[in-house]
Amino acid sequence: MNRTAAHLADGRRIVYFDRDGTDREPEPDLRELPPAAAASEMRFDPLLREWVVVASHRQGRTHLPPSDDCPLCPSSGGRRTEVPASAYDVVAFENRFPSLVAGDGRALGDVGELEPSRRTGAGRCEVLVFASDHRASFADLGPERANLVMEAWVDRTRELSALPGVEQVYCFENRGREIGVTLHHPHGQIYALPFVAPRTRRMLDSAGEYAARTGGDLFGDLLAAEQKAGLRVVARTAHWTAFVPAAARWPVEVHLYPHRKVPDLPALTPQEREDFGLLYLDVLRRFDALYDAPLPYISAWHQAPVRERRDLAWLHLELFSVRRAADKLKHLAGTESGMDVFISDVAPEDAAERLRAAGPGEENEGKAP
């Protein structure tokens, strides 16, 4: 992989990731841009003990532009985009409309809340573009390009984790209008969070309690149980297993675990990184085959915090869709939105069976060894 860093017209950082042998000379960003966003805000919820980010400057962000005005396509002719290059493989850059802006996290004046909690935002938000082709999706990428995206995830996780005040790096993709995407070009995002995400805290709390009670590793034992049962395993490779969790919340939900315990993406071996791409492309193509149409989804990497309880974490990816039938979506109802009690419309074992059937037809796909 070749890595080339440069800056955009307003000072934001951009990094190109190209296949080996590519000799890139960064093209200058000739746009006249207003200053990049300088601030966001965090407020602490004392009831749930969670941080909430307030980023009112994002109201004016780009929203579903026509394909000939996409800001993620390469620059060409007189049209200048967020990517100054006329061609690229994979590229990451700081978001022009970030939820989190690099800052010092200093306290702000209170607004009558129970306890002083307002702070300036800290961290960073980046966009990771998977391909220059506006019409493509991740499922369309070949193994070589998927591996290049993996190398970009590793690179950005390593660099962002080293920033002052960053506590966790979260790589994710939203696909589909039903999910709420504002740009259709194939891309994901990377958040360098100034706190540990609530979901991660809950997982690590559970892992710590399980270790104290049983002496075992919660994530490893869960993976072993799924592999042994085989009922919900969708596909396997030498280094990864994809399965529908027994208590899946979403109509279509698959978790991808490496067979070896690692805390984060940089800890994967080259073989594990390459092997992931093969399995991930397989699972994404099964998603799209369910209804013979692109399935809206969220793809979320769960990595260990930068500084705390890394020994409890087990890197994995959670992939899920809100589509519960060809013509129906799962909308969060009162129990889910109001009380965080999920009610599943699809049995996890049925979802796993349908995903196995949607694959390339291997007779033993998804069977326990």
Residues serving a catalytic function are 187
- Please answer whether residues 294 and 244 qualify as being in contact, where contact means their C-beta atoms are separated by less than 8 angstroms: no
- CA distance linking residue 323 with residue 125, whole number of Å: 28
Residue 140 DSSP label: G
- CA distance linking residue 273 with residue 110, whole number of Å: 46
Residue 113 DSSP label: -
Contacts of residue 307, Cβ cutoff 8 Å, sequence gap at least 6: 167
Output the CA torsion sign for 353, 359, 363, 368: negative
Token pair 């802006």 in the structure block, residue: 101
DSSP string, 244-300: --TT--SSEEEEEEESS--SSGGGS-HHHHHHHHHHHHHHHHHHHHTTTSPPPEEEE
State residue 188 phi and psi, 5-degree precision: -130, -170
- Please answer whether residues 163 and 102 qualify as being in contact, where contact means their C-beta atoms are separated by less than 8 angstroms: yes
Provide the angle, in degrees to the nearest 10, between the axes of the packed helices 270-289 and 348-357. 100
- CA distance linking residue 213 with residue 228, whole number of Å: 22
State residue 53 phi and psi, 5-degree precision: -95, 130
Token pair 């991740």 in the structure block, residue: 138
Structure token digits, residue 24: 């890139």
Residue 132 DSSP label: S
State residue 271 phi and psi, 5-degree precision: -65, -40
b/e 346-368 (16+ beta carbons within 10 angstroms → b): bebeebbbbbbebbeeeeebbee
